[in-house]
Amino acid sequence: MRDGIRTKGHRSSSAGVRAYIFREKMLMLRRSCVSVIYMKHNSGTDLLRNLPDLRDILRGSLLQRTIRHRRGCPKCERGDGHPVSVLTVTYPGGRTRQISLRPEQVSEVRRQLDNYQRLKETVEQICELNQQALRAETAEAKSGRHA
C-alpha cells in the first residue's frame, strides 16, 4: 500500500496508480459490471496509462474579457480597457460561477482544462470498449445456449 492506495498488480509508477484509482472510481460510480467487464480484456490498458492525473483537472471554459471603468481611467477612456481571464463553470440548473484569474494562473488553468477534455475522451473510449466486450459476451452466451 502506498499513500493509502493499493498498488498490487500494478507498476509502482504514478500511471499504474492512476489506472487503479480510475477503476475504483468507475466501480463506485456505476456499482455495476462495467468495470468488471473492462478488467476481462486488456485492450484499454494503454488508455488507462495515458489518463491525466485526476487531481489536475478543471471543468469549465476559459474566457478573455475586457473590463472598462466608467470614468477616471485613461486606458479605458482610450477604449483599450483591462483584459481579464475568467474561468466560467456552469452547474446543473443553469447556475454559473466565474472565477477571475491572475495572468500567471492562465497557463495552469488551460492545462487543467485540456486534462479534463482528455479524461472525457478517454472515458468515452473505455465505454466503447466495454460495450464491445458486453456485446461479445452476450453473443457468446447466445451461441453457447443454442449448441
Task: Flag whether 5 is in a domain.
Answer: yes
Residues 9 and 41 both lie in one domain: yes
pLDDT tens across 81-128, in order? 999 999 999 999 999 999 999 999 999 999 999 999 999 999 998 888
Task: Flag whether 131 is in a domain.
Answer: no
Distance of CA 24 to the CA centre of its chain: 15
Task: Flag whether 34 is in a domain.
Answer: yes
pLDDT at 76 over 60: yes
pLDDT at 11: 39
Mean pLDDT of the chain: 75
Domains held by the chain: number: 2
Residues 38 and 62 both lie in one domain: no
Q: Is 3 left (phi over 0), alpha (psi -120 to 50) or beta?
A: left
Whole-model pTM over 0.95: no
Task: Flag whether 147 is in a domain.
Answer: no
Task: Flag whether 69 is in a domain.
Answer: yes
Residue 11: domain span:
1-53
